[in-house]
């Protein structure tokens, strides 16, 4: 079953590489009592993710936060070292959370998993964005194709907050 607007996010634990080293962060820590923009990508360093989706959120970070958003996070089915390298390479380290859903537990619990084996990526996350308030999904934008980043992009999210 796919998560919908009005649903509470499932409990999950992510791994994140920070300037101080690896940490674990739970959905409770990230979303409780906060307004958070969460977006998901099929894979760190992949073309659409690195050239279109992530840059939009980094470029619009201040505008998003200025609208009352407490935090921004990106999640992918990648290990924490890949996500940490992507955070560093993109200039996003310390600006947004780069969450590793290393075993796809969160992605599967949301019903957002997709099999991209034909493209050699294997089990990954669909591309989406959501506005989450106190752990509850307030808006959800899922791309029809993993190669697109329009309805889930930062410009679309800015129109919703």
Q: Where in the sequence numbering do the catalytic residues fall?
A: 49
Tell me how far CA of residue 12 lies from CA of 148, 158, 159, in angstroms: 27, 26, 28
128 touches 39 (CB < 8 A): yes
Strand ranges (E), 20-121: 21-26, 35-40, 71-76, 97-100, 113-116
Query: What is the phi/psi pair of residue 7, to 5°?
Result: -80, 150
Give the integer Cα–Cα distance in Å for 54 and 119. 21
């Amino acid at each position: 079953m796919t998560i919908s607007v009005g649903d509470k996010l499932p409990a999950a634990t992510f791994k994140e590489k920070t300037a101080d080293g690896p940490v674990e962060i739970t959905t409770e820590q990230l979303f409780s009592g906060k307004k958070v923009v969460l977006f998901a990508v099929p894979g760190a360093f992949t073309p659409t993710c690195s050239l279109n989706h992530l840059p939009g959120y980094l470029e619009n970070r201040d505008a998003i936060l200025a609208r009352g958003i407490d935090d921004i996070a990106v999640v992918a089915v990648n290990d924490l070292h890949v996500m940490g390298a992507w955070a560093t390479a993109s200039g996003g380290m310390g600006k947004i959370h780069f969450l590793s859903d290393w075993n796809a537990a969160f992605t599967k619990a949301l019903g957002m998993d997709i099999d991209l084996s034909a493209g050699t990526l294997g089990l990954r996350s669909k591309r989406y964005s959501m506005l989450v308030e106190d752990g509850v999904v307030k808006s959800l934008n899922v791309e029809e194709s993993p190669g697109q980043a329009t309805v889930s992009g930062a410009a679309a999210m800015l129109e919703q907050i």
